[in-house]
């Protein structure tokens, strides 16, 4: 059974000038004759998909690609221009937490109001009220007007109400980034809880790591089209490849004197195949070809790895590894071996550099240039693989 079904879904927006529409404006346009149409654009076009019940789907894509419009259409706050979207079950959307909170009312009054807007019966709210307050961590502030709340408190209360509603389908639009770390962890716990209960989740995020971690499937949306759908690592890699790395949208940098240049870089697995997806615990090879335009004494080759979120994982070079290269001139190749690859799963960026022995001259550096994906083939969890063993002894 499908929880969400979209058929040829499309949303067209009329391009409007600055400011809100006015009767005066409409009249003057009518008097001037044509020219009332300033054009339109498709925020979403011909999107079809099915999400079976119990699946978690992450939506990724650059800013302005139509992700939020998609969520709005599923939530029915936006009416489609063409096509249709059908949903089965109660929807709760975390599109804007605390939307509908009234600043003058207390937290308590707002909980009941917000729950009513989401369609929860007053009796249910009363039963779960303590839960909601506990989850939001606002016990001592609950009778204070929410206009005195901090933005974090606002979001916490909104989230608490929305998840306590016990929806069948939960829509999340990049809202979890607001709370502090402790609250984010609580939210992720709650999301896992939802997944265990077989609820359907659709969530938009720029935190690719979270999409990796939580989703069974990922959608890639670009210019209003559903470009790819499938296994999160593959879709994310496609996204990164097409719109991020290699001078793409993401913050990538390339600099240096170019006295030595990278000519070709290939990431290979243990079978020597050029791949984008590697498996945890297996070797990873990076074959780097370079061209030195002049003779360079004692160059240093370096690399570093960051996660998709920019977390610096590891960095080293031939100097640190005590593998000095005497001199280079013309073309040559270097092989970097990482064996075993102790990254567990997710999206990573490889940066490469060539610089002088005293770090004074940067010949060529490509920052966050090469994306790759690691798939976890073990049963363990986490970001890194720690070589661990157990030892058990019974009795005293």
Partner 1 sequence: MAMIELWHMLKDRRELIQNLVARELKSRYKGSVLGFLWSILTPLFMAFIYVFFLRLLAGRGVPTEEIIIGVFAWQFTAMCVNGGMTAITGNANLVKKVYFPRVVMPLSVTLANLVNFLLSLVVQFAIILILLHLRGAHIHMLIVLLPAVILLHLVFNLALAMFMAGANVYFRDTQHLVGVLLSAWFFVSPVMYNLSFVERAAAQWPVLTSLYVVNPMAVIITAYRAITLPGVAFPCTTEAVAGLVLPLVLLVLAYRSFQRAQHNFADML
| Chain residues in the site for partner 1 (CB under 8 A) | 13-14, 20-24, 26, 72, 75-79, 91, 93, 95-96, 99-100, 102, 104-105, 109, 112-113, 116-119, 121-122
What's the Rg (C-alpha) of the chain? 26
CB of 116 to partner 1, least distance (A): 4
- Closest separation between CB of residue 101 and partner 1, Å? 9
CB of 32 to partner 1, least distance (A): 17
Query: 90 or 266: whose CB is closer to partner 1?
Result: 90
Distance in Å, CB of 356 to partner 1, minimum:
55
Please tell me the distance from the alpha carbon of residue 355 to that of residue 362, in angstroms, as a whole number.
Answer: 4
Burial track 22-48 (b if 16+ CB lie within 10 A, e otherwise):
eeeeeeeeeeeeeeeeeeeebbbbebe
Pick between residue 4 and residue 328 the one whose CB is nearest to partner 1.
Answer: 4
Closest distance of CB 321 from partner 1, Å:
53
Which residue, 93 or 318, is less far from partner 1 as judged by CB?
Answer: 93
Taking the least distance from each CB to partner 1, the nearer of 99 and 185 is: 99
Name the residue nearer to partner 1 (CB basis): 91 or 204.
Answer: 91
Q: Which residue bears the tokens 């979890």?
A: 176
Q: Kindly tell me which of 116 and 320 has the beta carbon lying closer to partner 1.
A: 116
- The residue (of 117 and 377) whose beta carbon lies closer to partner 1 is 117
Least distance in angstroms from the C-beta of 78 to partner 1: 5
Q: Residue 363: CB partners within 8 Å, gap ≥ 6?
A: 256, 257, 258, 259, 260, 261, 296, 299, 353, 354, 355, 356
- Cβ contact 157:149 at 8 Å: yes
Smallest distance from the beta carbon of 54 to partner 1, in angstroms?
Answer: 22
Q: Are 139 and 133 in contact (CB under 8 A)?
A: yes
Q: Which is nearer to partner 1, 24 or 390 (CB)?
A: 24
Closest separation in Å from C-beta 134 to partner 1: 22
Shortest Cβ 200–partner 1 spacing (Å)? 16
User: For residue 306, what are its two tokens?
Assistant: 């960051």
CB nearer partner 1, residue 121 or residue 380: 121
User: Cα separation of 298 and 69, whole Å?
Assistant: 55
CA 391 to chain centre: 39
């Amino acid at each position: 059974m499908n929880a969400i079904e979209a058929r040829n879904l499309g949303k067209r927006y009329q391009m409007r000038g600055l400011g809100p529409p006015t009767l005066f404006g409409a009249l003057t346009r009518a008097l001037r004759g044509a020219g009332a149409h300033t054009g339109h654009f498709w925020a979403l076009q011909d999107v079809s998909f099915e999400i079976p019940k119990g699946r978690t789907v992450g939506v990724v894509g650059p800013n302005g690609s139509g992700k939020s419009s998609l969520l709005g259409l599923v939530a029915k706050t936006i009416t489609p221009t063409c096509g249709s979207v059908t949903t089965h079950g109660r929807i709760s959307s975390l599109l804007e937490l605390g939307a509908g909170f009234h600043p003058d009312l207390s937290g308590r009054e707002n909980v009941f109001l917000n729950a009513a807007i989401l369609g929860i019966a007053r009796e249910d709210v009363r039963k779960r009220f303590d839960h909601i307050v506990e989850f939001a961590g606002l016990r001592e502030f609950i009778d204070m007007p929410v206009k005195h709340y901090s933005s974090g408190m606002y979001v916490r209360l909104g989230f608490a109400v929305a998840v306590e509603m016990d929806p069948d389908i939960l829509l999340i639009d990049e809202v979890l980034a607001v709370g502090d770390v402790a609250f984010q962890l609580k939210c992720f716990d709650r999301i896992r809880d939802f997944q265990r209960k077989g609820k359907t989740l659709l969530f938009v995020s720029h935190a690719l790591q979270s999409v990796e971690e939580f989703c069974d499937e990922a959608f890639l949306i670009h210019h209003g089209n559903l470009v790819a759908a499938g296994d999160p690592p593959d879709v994310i890699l496609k996204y990164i490849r097409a719109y991020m790395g290699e001078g793409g949208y993401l913050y990538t940098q390339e600099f240096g004197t170019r006295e030595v240049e990278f000519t070709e870089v290939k990431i290979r697995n243990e079978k020597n195949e050029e791949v984008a997806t590697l498996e945890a615990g297996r070797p990873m090879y990076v074959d780097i070809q370079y061209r030195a335009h002049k003779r360079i004494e004692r160059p240093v080759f370096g690399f570093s790895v960051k996660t998709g979120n920019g977390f610096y994982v590891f960095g080293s070079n031939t100097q640190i590894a005590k593998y000095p290269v005497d001199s280079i001139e013309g073309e040559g190749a270097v092989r970097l071996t990482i064996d075993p690859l102790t990254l567990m799963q997710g999206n990573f960026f490889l940066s490469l550099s060539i610089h002088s022995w005293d770090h004074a001259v940067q010949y060529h550096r490509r920052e966050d240039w090469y994306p790759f994906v690691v798939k976890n083939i073990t049963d363990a969890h986490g970001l890194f693989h720690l070589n661990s063993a157990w030892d058990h002894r019974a009795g005293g």
